[in-house]
Amino acid sequence: MSGLTASMPRLDAEVLIIGSGAGGATTAALLAEAGIDVLIVEEGPWVDQGSVTPFSLEQMDQQYRAGGVTVALGLPSIAYTEGRCAGGGTEVNSGLYFRPPVDVIERWSAQHRIRDLDPDALSVIAAEIEQALTVSTVPGRTTPASEILRDGAAALGWQHNEIPRWMAYPPGGDAVTGKRQSMTRTFLPRAFAAGARMIVDCRVDRLHMAGGTGRSAAVTFADGSTGVITFRDVIVCGGAIQSPALLQRSGIHGYIGRTLAVHPTVKLSARFRDEVNVPDDVPVHQVKEFAPDLSFGGSASHPGLVALALTDHWKAFSKSVVQWRQIAIYYAAITSEGRGWVRAIPGLRDPLVTYRLSHRDRQLLRSGLARLTLLMLEADAEEVYPSFRGAPIVRNRADIASMQQAFAVSKASVMTVHLCSSVPMGELPGRSGADSFGRVHGTSNVFVNDASLLPTAPGVNPQATVMAIAIRNARHFISSRSTTDTRSTTDTRNIKGHHER
């Protein structure tokens, strides 16, 4: 890597891709392999997989936006997290894989008038993704914290599954020996092999527009120096919060940032007789008895996160923190009817994000926490610590009733890691931010190709759906444009943070 001085060259690319997560990396690989000159710009750093302990506070510091402290304001406010590094959310996430749900794709296609959105075609793409990311179940035993979900659900007769992950397991490996097949291990190396260039530690502040045509991007590097990148087309893949914010900062408004959709979760910590905590992994079982409205799963349970979860009623719960090895954290996630806004505020770096839960969402969160508590007791939890202010310790079924009485969503620690739908695609006039293939309405060469395009939250872990739609749209982009090789002559050795791969 080499730094740049104040006289930074004006960079140029046939296609500029902003963001290198699930949407950006797949788009970059496909376009580069089609002979298109691609430059990826990523705000966060390149962090090699394995150099930071997964699910640790150190990882949050290095690879999450704002160290993981970001919030959608509301009643209650919802804490959300975004990856901010090469590979985006794919570097830090749990790797739990769901094919794009056929019923959801059919509904999107019909209700949002999305042209040629075919569930069978997406299933074919999903099979490609499964191969590229070596999606598989754990070869040996799953972790004790995961088996608690399985056993509690089995005791109640509730439907449960082990969810496959994008992990590569060594021969004879088990749950904790898998290597996450994130974008820095898969689609980004593919993009580099096909000639794509990448700048890390570089944020795109805004696009310069002339009428409906994007001309260039104003960027700021981590050291505060600035630059300009010109392009023929730009594909914004900053994720469901940053993509609409960037479009708004660029003066593109339309139906942008008004329909953020998330999977809100409430959580609890449960203490067992034996050691169950695996600090650097998450459970692979999920309970789908009440899906798609409500699902249960396991969260990262690093000791720091256990301590944080117990602060919801520290006076009552704190004595248990020393027993963190016997404690694991679980969540109840809902498919929300509520919607949120993302608004870029002039003069501020970060957008204002708000989210409003519906009455039905609140009821589901309440019943979800009660049912998850029941499941923990069935799995022989000695004590359950629900995550809401002033919550009682639950030790038996009778305590669940008093817990439910004390519960109010406004007191709960609601959070989410699944953010979508802020630039929904489709042809519905006045109800979609981008067309059926991601071109932002009212523009000729500005595209979005990330989780923002999903018309609603899909009701399952979303990354595979984000990637499948990104690949579909990338192929449409390639086929509808000339693929003549007009590679830029920019000297990439001078690009700050450029990654030679």
Ligand X SMILES: Cc1cc2nc3c(=O)[nH]c(=O)nc-3n(C[C@H](O)[C@H](O)[C@H](O)COP(=O)(O)OP(=O)(O)OC[C@H]3O[C@@H](n4cnc5c(N)ncnc54)[C@H](O)[C@@H]3O)c2cc1C
Q: C-beta of 444: minimal distance to ligand X in Å?
A: 21
| Burial degree of 7 (CB within 10 A; 0-12, 13-18, 19+) | exposed
Residues that bind ligand X (CB under 6 A): 18-24, 41-44, 81-85, 88-90, 92-96, 203-204, 237-240, 242, 246, 417-418, 450-451, 461-464, 466
CA distance 224 to 203: 10
Question: Nearest to residue 379, comparing CAs of 486, 487, 270?
Answer: 270
Are the beta carbons of 168 and 133 closer than 8 angstroms?
no
Question: 60 or 379, CB closer to ligand X?
Answer: 60
Give the integer Cα–Cα distance in Å for 4 and 82: 28
Is the CB of residue 86 less than 8 Å from the CB of residue 44?
yes
Which residue number places its CB atom closest to ligand X? Answer: 21
Least separation in angstroms between residue 419's CB and ligand X is 7
What is the smallest separation between the CB atom of 298 and ligand X, expressed in angstroms?
A: 11
- Given the complex with ligand X, which of 74 and 438 has the nearer CB atom? 438
**418 labelled catalytic:** yes
Q: 95: burial class by Cβ within 10 Å (0-12, 13-18, 19+)? A: buried
Question: What is the spatial distance between Cα 76 and Cα 449, in angstroms, rounded to a whole number?
Answer: 30
Cβ partners under 8 Å of residue 126, min gap 6: 99, 100, 464, 468
- Encoding tokens for residue 170? 């060594």
Provide the token pair at 44: 């966060």
Nearer to ligand X, 374 or 419 (CB): 419
Q: How far apart (Å, rounded) are the C-alpha atoms in residues 287 and 375?
A: 10
CB of 201 to ligand X, least distance (A): 10
Task: Sort strands 165-168 and 179-180 into parallel, antiparallel or unpaired.
Answer: antiparallel
Which among 139, 148, 145, 147 has a CA at the least distance from the CA of 177?
139
Nearer to ligand X by Cβ, of 135 and 370: the residue is 135
The minimum distance between CB 319 and ligand X, in angstroms, equals: 29
CB nearer to ligand X: give 391 or 420: 420
Instruction: Single out the catalytic residue among 112, 418, 498, 499.
Output: 418
Q: CB-wise, 101 or 392, nearer to ligand X?
A: 101
Least CB distance from residue 163 to ligand X, whole Å? 8
Active site residues: 418
